[in-house]
Amino acid sequence: MPEKFVYINDQNIKTEASVYIASEFASTGPAVSVPVITGTNGLISSTLLPAATGAVESATKLKITRLAQEDILTGEVVRAFSSTHVSLATGDSTKAEAMVLGVADNDALIGEGVDIILLGVVTDAEFSVFTLNDPLFLDINGNVTNTKRTTGYHVDVGKSLGGSDILFNPGVPAVIA
């Protein structure tokens, strides 16, 4: 049974979540389901987990799909507009508008589904202007830049991997005094 707890999220909203205690996990393979045993450090030993099978043995990105609140292009940085919609993030307005959710993995018109990479490698020709290992930041209107903002909000969004790739790993907005 999951344990429930309450916490205050980034928007200062009281939120309830559930968490499973490690000893409550059970195998999902063909073997008899038994609780997973953790080490003295509380971590699950990799020797207790089944080997990966099939085509997916590693992940390069974490992705979700939401509806576009406005036209969004591949490679543009988005924020949560609601629980079902996203709009472009921007560093020149409010903290809520600078609260980066992810980066668009496809073009979407208003009301269409947009795949959002929350974390991982993003490929777009627009990113070829950046030099390998350039730190990247949120600019305005969903754009990514390698120049730190001097007004509004500063948000780290990742670094250039060279070519047309970036490692997208957004941070929390910090007001620029």
Quick check: 73 pLDDT over 90? yes
How far apart are the C-alpha atoms of 123 and 121, rounded to whole Å?
Answer: 7
Residue 143: Cβ within 10 Å count? 16
Across the range 1-9, mean pLDDT stands at 59
Q: Which domains does the chain have, with CATH numbers?
A: 3-48 (no CATH), 63-175 (2.40.300)
pLDDT at 47: 56
Quick check: 18 pLDDT over 70? no
pLDDT at 62: 87
**140-161 per-position pLDDT tens digit:** 999 999 999 999 999 999 999 9
Residue 176 vs residue 39, higher pLDDT: 176
How far apart are the C-alpha atoms of 146 and 156, rounded to whole Å?
Answer: 10
**22-68 per-position pLDDT tens digit:** 444 444 444 444 444 555 555 555 555 555 454 444 567 889 999 99
